Structure 1
Amino acid sequence: MKKSLFIFTLLFSGFVSAQDTIQPNEVIVTEQSNESKNHFKNSLGEIKFNLDESGEKNLKFGLSSQIWFRAIENNPGTLVNNVPQETTFDAGIRRMRISMNAQLSHAYSIVLQLGINNQSFISGGGTGTGANGQGKKPQLFFMDAYNELSIIPRVDRLTKKANKNHLYVGAGLHGWAGVSRMTNASTTKLLTADLPVFNFPNIEVSDQFSRQIGLFAHGELNKFNYRVSVNKPFATNKIPTIGQTVENNQSGKLSFAGYGMYQFLDKEMTATSFLAGTYLGSKKVFNLGAGFYATKEATLSQPEVDVFQSHDQFILGADAFLDLPVGPKSKEMSMSFYSVFYKYDFGPNYLRTSGLMNPGSADPDFQGQVALDGFGNNKFLMGTGNMWYTQAGFVLPKFSEVVKVQPFASYALKDLEGLNEIGHFYDIGANLFILAQNAKVAYQYSSRPLFDKESKEVFTRRGEHLLTLQIAL
């Protein structure tokens, strides 16, 4: 009976506000920030479990899920579950997360985030599920697991006033990454329905879902916000064919990363490593940023038979982010804009393809022209070369006390050394916000180019319709 009552209290507390007087061991919900309160009267806060009367020692919990429904125009010559398919309809769990933050004192905290990613009807399952059950029983894993120490806190412990500068250091499996704002993106505050993914240069290769293990520091010097890290990349050991460059860091060199942004208008909250893609006009933000990622001997090529050569990985990024309310205040309209330029160097002619929750494989009996990109929804994700990505959104004039609508569009240009033509990628869609960014529905149509195997030039295009449902607390 007591356990049932506690669970009911925990769930119910997610829909009520915190009291002025907080007792020890009380589960409460606090406002995440004033921005949600000002624009969404019914938005949810966070689950917080205070361990002392002051609330200085506490446990915070977060829950989030993103469910996908798609109609995929497959690349030519695709099998899905051993059946040729031009179009595949699927459903999947893109992300399911549980996050925990333990504030053990005013200076020391532990951050954990665990969950699953990319489970569909045919992919993302754990080992041993069988040829006809690849999507079943995905393995739960940690995305974040680190300790953090406050050197100069955001708020002075004695005066309770905000410090102009602050500094935190930590260690563990973390996402305090370099390169760009989008390399540090919040997956629950996206402008588009999903990230372009090439914003994570080592995703699921020498990192664990964009995280590496190491030491990090982050903080602010007045308006300048920064993060730096030194990490041990996860081991890779691929062997290239002649003329190919692949991930191979067997010499075991460290990686170094950093990102800094100057905040011209409002400051952003950076208690976690994740940065929002849109504030829906609840802040006035204009930031310019730049970052890098570097590691020695990260890839391996075979220029001639039995001749192997290691290559350094070096990446630069520069970006701009703008989020502003526009028009009459009563209309609650706003615009969001982000643009980033990447210079990626993984070694000569490095190319990487990927398809999110890809349902397809090669059809050996297909007689037509197949794409160099691969099968299913595969596309050229990234490579050595230059990439430019821009996204923009606009919150429509207020028509409801409950919901908001935000159309958006994005464009990516990929000028990759290993291809003979620039690739142009397009997304267009809209967000329907129900409880601020706690609950939303998003639709997006994406168009991707496909490259010919011989000419390495674009010969056709394919598209993908995506409907995503998000709940986050």
Structure 2
Amino acid sequence: MKYFSVCLVFFITYSVTTWAQTSPSTSPASKKKELRFQLNEDGSHYVKGTFLNQIWLRNTWTNPGSLVYGSPDDQVMDIGLRRTRIQVFGQLTDKVFFYTQFGQNNLSYRSPRKQGIFFLDAIGEYQVVGEKMSIGAGLTGWNGVSRYASPSIGSILSLDAPLYQQATNDVNDQFVRKLSVYAKGQLGQLDYRLAVSKPMSIEQSSVQGPVIAENSLFSSEIGYAQYHGYFKYMFLDKESNTTPYQAGSYLGTKSVFNIGAGFMAQKDAMWHYAESSTDTVRTNLGIMAIDAFYDRPINRSKGNAITAYAAYTYSDYGKNYIRNVGAMNPATGVNAEGTLNGPGSAFPTIGTGSTFYAQFGYLFRRDLLGNAGTLQPYVSSQYSQFDRLDDPMAMYDGGVNWLIEGNRVKLSFSYQSRPIFAANSQGSYVVDERKGMAVMQFQVAL
């Protein structure tokens, strides 16, 4: 790792020096403000580096019964690194592409000290037929189901990506990335991705242990292969598929309208006890989704634009499966007053049933604040009908992005409202109250 770090520092230093010394009138890298090292004269072979950091300053009104190292706390203010990422990738020959991404997620006051960086992506890819087909393998985010199963985190419109679309995040993958063989390409206006993945061991999961219960959980038995894919038809401008990560907002630079559909399937991925016995019932994992993405300038000379996204997902994780998700959860446990939500900021995000999701953003003209940039207010919501819950799960999120220099320098103010599910006298899970979370995020990217 020390040798790798030295090489990385040399690469970035060399790239910055090259970028600074190249004439803006002749260098595409300079115009785009990129850390880019050309491997041939025309720049078609290259190595490129990027950096991103998302810093959260947050106040969370915690779920009932939340504990912070044994002490009850109904309101927590914290600061954390939601995501820190470095990418190094490039086109080595006309046919060979490589992509690596490393960093860390969710470094907060309760994280282990000196937390190490880890690889999120590490793939090699070979171009078989021009843009029509490339085949690759490795640890990768070339995932199926829906658009934001692989979100481009630097251009997220709302407070966070719709996390329910990251169907197996850290259960049998590594922060969305899977050990896969994949094929991707564009056939005219049709963009596709297909992958076969080897699920990671549940024994090493940070989300769920190798347990079995009356309600469905991921099985810890040796897993069958996981198959997934996503297809989208691009009616207007074509989107890049150099990397698997799909933009949240183009800030008026493109006219995009896509309709997509995807799936994920794995045999005997789930298990639970049979009713009134300890016999094991094994069930398949199956998810299907359709979605639509629209991003278009209203007036190109002014720079204002709209962004909209909507998705429907049907998920079958087996009998009454529910997973609570609380990003960078500020609490460490829960006492006897706890609810189905669990501790901190968690709420039922993923489960067996149907989910509708939508978001909308409006970008004001580029000089709204003069040299200080412009604003992009947004709203988003997840509405789910999960089999285990008697009431719908409805999460609301709204805020504004202050785009100081596009997505390179961005300050976001967001508020999220989530439901709290508690058991009533009949033992059914219903909404008992709502809690909130206010976040200010500062993003810097290169």
TM-score (norm 1): 0.86
Which residue among 210, 220, 223 is the counterpart of 1:252? 223
Partner AA of 2:65 in structure 1: G
TM-aligned CA distance change 1:373 to 1:51, over 3 Å: same
Which residue among 192, 195, 198 is the counterpart of 2:161? 195
Question: Is 1:384 the counterpart of 2:352 in the alignment?
Answer: yes
- Identical positions, percent: 33
For residue 420 of structure 1, report the CA deviation from its aligned partner: 1.1
Name the CA distance, whole Å, in 1 between partners of 2:334 and 2:239: 49
For residue 15 of structure 1, report the CA deviation from its aligned partner: 6.8
Partner AA of 1:305 in structure 2: S
Question: Mapping of 1:184-223 within 5 angstroms?
Answer: 184-223=150-189
1:327-369 Cα shifts (integer Å, max 9, x gaps): x4433211000001110111111111121111213454x6xx5
Task: Tell me, yes or no, if the aligned pair for 2:227 and 2:266 is still in contact at 8 Å.
Answer: yes
For residue 376 of structure 1, report the CA deviation from its aligned partner: 1.0
Which residue among 141, 144, 149 is the counterpart of 2:126? 149
Task: Tell me, yes or no, if the aligned pair for 1:16 and 1:29 is still in contact at 8 Å.
Answer: no
For residue 82 of structure 1, report the CA deviation from its aligned partner: 2.8
Residue equivalent to 1:287: 258
Residue equivalent to 2:114: 137
Task: Tell me, yes or no, if the aligned pair for 2:361 and 2:377 is still in contact at 8 Å.
Answer: yes
Name the CA distance, whole Å, in 2 between partners of 1:355 and 1:199: 15
For residue 80 of structure 1, report the CA deviation from its aligned partner: 1.4
Task: Tell me, yes or no, if the aligned pair for 2:159 and 2:397 is still in contact at 8 Å.
Answer: no
Partner AA of 2:408 in structure 1: N
State how many pairs are aligned. Answer: 428
TM-aligned CA distance change 1:18 to 1:60, over 3 Å: farther
Aligned Cα root-mean-square deviation (Å): 2.2
Residue equivalent to 2:429: 456
Which residue among 57, 68, 76 is the counterpart of 2:45? 57
Name the CA distance, whole Å, in 1 between partners of 2:389 and 2:31: 49
Question: Mapping of 1:58-207 within 5 angstroms?
Answer: 58-123=46-111, 125=112, 136-154=113-131, 166-207=132-173
Residue equivalent to 1:224: 190
Name the CA distance, whole Å, in 2 between partners of 1:466 and 1:7: 32
Task: Tell me, yes or no, if the aligned pair for 1:235 and 1:248 is still in contact at 8 Å.
Answer: no
Question: Mapping of 1:402-417 within 5 angstroms?
Answer: 402-417=372-387
Question: Mapping of 1:285-434 within 5 angstroms?
Answer: 285-303=256-274, 304-326=276-298, 328-364=299-335, 369-397=337-365, 398-399=367-368, 400-434=370-404
Residue equivalent to 2:3: none
TM-aligned CA distance change 1:354 to 1:236, over 3 Å: same
For residue 197 of structure 1, report the CA deviation from its aligned partner: 1.0
TM-aligned CA distance change 1:82 to 1:408, over 3 Å: same
Gaps in structure 1 of 5+ consecutive residues: 23-27, 33-44, 126-135, 155-165
Name the CA distance, whole Å, in 2 between partners of 1:349 and 1:120: 32
Name the CA distance, whole Å, in 1 between partners of 2:126 and 2:387: 43
Segment drifting more, 237-246 vs 192-201: 237-246
Partner AA of 1:446 in structure 2: Q
TM-aligned CA distance change 1:362 to 1:282, over 3 Å: same
TM-aligned CA distance change 1:190 to 1:4, over 3 Å: closer
Name the CA distance, whole Å, in 1 between partners of 2:17 and 2:55: 24
Task: Tell me, yes or no, if the aligned pair for 1:240 and 1:301 is still in contact at 8 Å.
Answer: no
Task: Tell me, yes or no, if the aligned pair for 1:335 and 1:394 is still in contact at 8 Å.
Answer: yes
Residue equivalent to 1:160: none
1:286-307 Cα shifts (integer Å, max 9, x gaps): 1000000111011110124321
TM-aligned CA distance change 1:362 to 1:249, over 3 Å: closer
Gaps in structure 2 of 5+ consecutive residues: 1-7, 204-208
Name the CA distance, whole Å, in 1 between partners of 2:18 and 2:72: 50
The SS at the match of 1:182 is: helix
For residue 54 of structure 1, report the CA deviation from its aligned partner: 3.0
Task: Tell me, yes or no, if the aligned pair for 1:15 and 1:29 is still in contact at 8 Å.
Answer: no
For residue 17 of structure 1, report the CA deviation from its aligned partner: 6.8
For residue 389 of structure 1, report the CA deviation from its aligned partner: 0.6
Task: Tell me, yes or no, if the aligned pair for 1:180 and 1:318 is still in contact at 8 Å.
Answer: yes
Task: Tell me, yes or no, if the aligned pair for 2:103 and 2:117 is still in contact at 8 Å.
Answer: yes
For residue 377 of structure 1, report the CA deviation from its aligned partner: 1.0
Partner AA of 1:472 in structure 2: A
Residue equivalent to 1:465: 438
For residue 401 of structure 1, report the CA deviation from its aligned partner: 4.6
